[in-house]
Structure 1
Amino acid sequence: MENRQPKLRFPEFSGEWEKKKLGAIATITTGSTPSTLISEYYNGNKLFVSPADLQGNRYVYSTKTKLTELGFSKGRKIDKGSVVFVCIGSTIGKVGITTEDSLTNQQINSLKAKTDYSNNFIYSLLELNGQKIKLLAGVQAVPQINKTAFSNLLFHFPNISEQTKIANFLIEVDKKLTALKQKKSLLEQYKKGVMQKIFSQELRFKEDNGNDYPDWEEKKLGEVCEIAKSGGTPTSTKKEYYNGDIPFLSISDMTLQGKYLNFTSNHISELGLENSSSWLVPINSIIYSMYASVGFVAINRIPLATSQAVLNLILKKKLNLEFMYYTLVDFQKNIAQFITTGTQGNLNANSVKGFLIQIPSLTEQTKIANFLSAIDEKINHCQKQIEKTQVWKKGLLQQMFV
């Protein structure tokens, strides 16, 4: 027998929820795009919502593309407070609520709740079920849930009082998430600004006695390394070269983990290591991407091997590992001039070893590294709070809806 009551419920409510089609509880409108050939339609101040504007937040305050009053008049107006839901393309399931009268493109269906139904409740309902709805599109070149199919989707609804209570509670949860995201964003902006000042030497640290540190010295990156050597890839057709005990780094491992590398998705065998130009890079080396995510830098916390897409740097003494990490992160703004042209822009090892960098004294390096690491710890703490709150919210959604 079908369950029509949520597992988690406010105590003042009881009874079963009613099953309704989306088209019965809301007016549904498919968006349209004013002609992009007419420049007078664009660069105004009216919101034009596309999937890219839906970034996991409840409310849509701004859009990448804006319309003029003339352009706005050529589309189907969506009232302030409407729910917008992506129904076409790879991002089916993205959802938000407009904060002013808007237009949307044709990938989006908009819902305006009818009497006795809450837009904010509908938002949370669709947020919970977005991935299930996406599966209904099936496998096709351009996944799509057409307006008729979307309108016929069945969901359970309580009375308007319970809808409002649930929606208001989840709005408060979203406010907490938004505040955490904003805090993280502000810390990231602060870090970016302070790094620019540190590495341009506009901001300098002092010795403990108040004296200035010595001037920074310019050196080539290769000059501060004991070893600066790329890896290699064992022949992929030799099965015996793979699935061994040696972690084998991919660029995706780097972008997934960020600053510190603690694992790899792939492994190679001793035989694979011996029969390729790959080598075992010791822990606490600088790992620098030359292909794909060009200029991405990390520190390995485990011994690992890498492909030729990565330059591995073992630093000389009197160099602070964390300082060199931040130096190369800051240097990303300069790498365009070193990238070789081709189908995919890459760096080569000689170019990277030729990077001109500024090196302060070891004690100043350490102060800089500690300062920036402390900011990173705050950013990471914010991210963990965001993830914890998202998990908590997901659990609430699963239990508060039928």
Structure 2
Amino acid sequence: MAKTNTNPEVRFAGFTEAWEERELGDVAKFNPKHEIPDVFNYVDLESVVGTEMISYRKEYKITAPSRAQRLAEKGDVFYQTVRPYQKNNLLFDREDKDFVFSTGYAQMRPVIESSFLFTLIQKDEFVRVVLNNCTGTSYPAINSTVLASIKLYFPKSKDEQTQIGNFFENLDNLITENQQKHTKLQSLKQAMLDKMFPKQGQLIPEIRFKGFEGNWEEINVGSICKTTIGVFVIKTRQNDLSPYPVYNGGVSYTGFYDEYNNEANKIVISARGANAGFVNIVRTKYWAGNSCYSVDVLDKGLFDIDFLFYYIKKYQRRFLENQQSANIPSVSKSDVERFKVFYPSKTEQSAIAKYLLSLDNQISNHDLQIIKLQNIKKAFLAKMFI
């Protein structure tokens, strides 16, 4: 059924003409035929994740897979016809003439603005229409003929298409930029965790801050920390409007209480269940359930709680390796107390913790920025299309 309102809620200035309904096959040529090169870069269904081409491989025409048939040109849109809910689609924006895609993609060569069409086919509403036209349940797929027959609304003005396409392309670039920075920071953090703590059999780390020297010492957690188990959680007492998070054996909090039984800045370790041995740190007052150990430093003048958290977190696999039950995995209080830690002076502990906290804060900031940009994109997708 045609829509009565054919104007989007939000438009760029100067555009007022109603949008028109057209089939995809009217605005793009599907699967154009070309002779593929003797040697080419092959893009299969695993090569595109999200909207990024993460890999490709060199192939020779004589030995290439039979599915290697879609020769790409700049501006082509490749739509994954198998499991389209994954939205692993690509706007090919390269000048190269030697990229060949699998027939697992429908190739569209738009006669309208490519970036506009690509944004449109990534919308959740479009994916739902595609899924309704798929065959198969566990492995849904749509053929190119059916895909080309799907009707959508388009602006008549090429300038409006271009402005909309550019707007969302810029948003996507910002999201990608933040995601890449996020990934690099995570990799940096992992590398520094490996280098800033002594490797097995060694007493000094590979990397140290200037001014620190000497061997690290070994001690068990029970000698420097107090470990307690929490109190049974009554689910009916949990309320999303309450101020104190409840930790009870998972990887994060499970709800909120009006009361707390632990002060802020303690290490929490899951005691039992699928996540037994998972290590976290809680920066606020909280309620610990009876599947959660709380670990607090006894002498804060000698040990830095953040340093201990990063050390124990790095080696939390030790808990996972020693889970005590095959049926219900668990970690005992004595496992926690026997956990061995190598440590330097309090000043060096604090310097290491401060650096790692800085990395975590930067990672969190990029997380928030990505979420913010994705929400902005979602809002404008709802308002700038019909």
Structure 1 residue matching 2:281: 3-state secondary structure:
strand
Query: Which is richer in helix?
Result: 1
Relative distance call for 1:93 and 1:362 in structure 2 (3 A) is: same
Partners of 1:168 and 1:302 in 2: CA distance:
46
Superposed displacement of residue 199, structure 1: 0.9
Q: Which amino acid aligns with 2:315?
A: F
Task: Tell me which residue corresponds to 1:120.
Answer: 115
Task: Tell me which residue corresponds to 1:77.
Answer: 69
Task: Tell me which residue corresponds to 2:187.
Answer: 189
Greater mean deviation of Cα atoms: 186-195 or 87-96: 87-96
Task: Tell me which residue corresponds to 1:369.
Answer: 353
Relative distance call for 1:142 and 1:3 in structure 2 (3 A) is: same
Structure 2 residue matching 1:227: 3-state secondary structure:
strand
Task: Tell me which residue corresponds to 2:154.
Answer: 157
1:233·1:306 contact (CA, 8 Å) conserved in 2? yes
Aligned with residue 19 of structure 2, among 13, 17, 20: 17
Which residues of 2 match residues 28-177 of structure 1 at below 5 A?
28=30, 46-50=42-46, 53-55=48-50, 58-62=51-55, 66=57, 68-69=59-60, 72-80=64-72, 81-89=75-83, 91-98=85-92, 101-104=99-102, 106=104, 109-114=105-110, 116-129=111-124, 130=126, 132-133=128-129, 136=132, 142=138, 144=140, 146-147=142-143, 149-159=146-156, 160-177=158-175
Task: Tell me which residue corresponds to 1:380.
Answer: 364
Task: Tell me which residue corresponds to 1:220.
Answer: 220
Relative distance call for 1:202 and 1:343 in structure 2 (3 A) is: same
Partners of 1:339 and 1:90 in 2: CA distance:
40
Greater mean deviation of Cα atoms: 343-352 or 15-24: 343-352
Task: Tell me which residue corresponds to 1:264.
Answer: 254
Deviations 1:159-211 (A, max 9, x none): 434323322332222222222222222222222222222112222235xxx5x
Partners of 1:111 and 1:341 in 2: CA distance:
52
Deviations 1:324-359 (A, max 9, x none): 111122224666654568478765554444332212
**What TM-score results when the alignment is normalised by the length of structure 1?**
0.72
Structure 2: which 5+ runs fail to align? 32-39, 199-204, 239-243
Task: Tell me which residue corresponds to 2:281.
Answer: 299
Deviations 1:372-395 (A, max 9, x none): 112222222222222222222223
Superposed displacement of residue 282, structure 1: 4.1
Q: Which amino acid aligns with 1:296?
A: F
1:112·1:119 contact (CA, 8 Å) conserved in 2? no
Superposed displacement of residue 244, structure 1: 1.0
Task: Tell me which residue corresponds to 2:36.
Answer: none
1:180·1:386 contact (CA, 8 Å) conserved in 2? yes
**What TM-score results when the alignment is normalised by the length of structure 2?**
0.75
- Percent of residue pairs identical: 23
Partners of 1:119 and 1:91 in 2: CA distance:
21
Structure 1 residue matching 2:296: 3-state secondary structure:
strand
Aligned with residue 266 of structure 2, among 285, 288, 313: 285
Q: Which amino acid aligns with 1:153?
A: I
Partners of 2:380 and 2:20 in 1: CA distance:
20
Structure 1 residue matching 2:9: 3-state secondary structure:
coil
Structure 1: which 5+ runs fail to align? 30-43, 235-240, 255-262, 271-278
Structure 2 residue matching 1:144: 3-state secondary structure:
coil
- The number of residues matched between the two structures is 351
1:77·1:101 contact (CA, 8 Å) conserved in 2? no
Partners of 1:204 and 1:306 in 2: CA distance:
38
Task: Tell me which residue corresponds to 2:296.
Answer: 314
Relative distance call for 1:71 and 1:122 in structure 2 (3 A) is: farther
Q: Which amino acid aligns with 1:320?
A: D
Partners of 1:378 and 1:389 in 2: CA distance:
16
2:269·2:278 contact (CA, 8 Å) conserved in 1? yes
Structure 1 residue matching 2:365: 3-state secondary structure:
helix
Residues 1:242 and 2:239 are matched in the alignment: no
**RMSD of aligned Cα (Å):** 3.7
Aligned with residue 204 of structure 1, among 188, 201, 208: 208
Superposed displacement of residue 370, structure 1: 1.4
Partners of 2:221 and 2:64 in 1: CA distance:
54
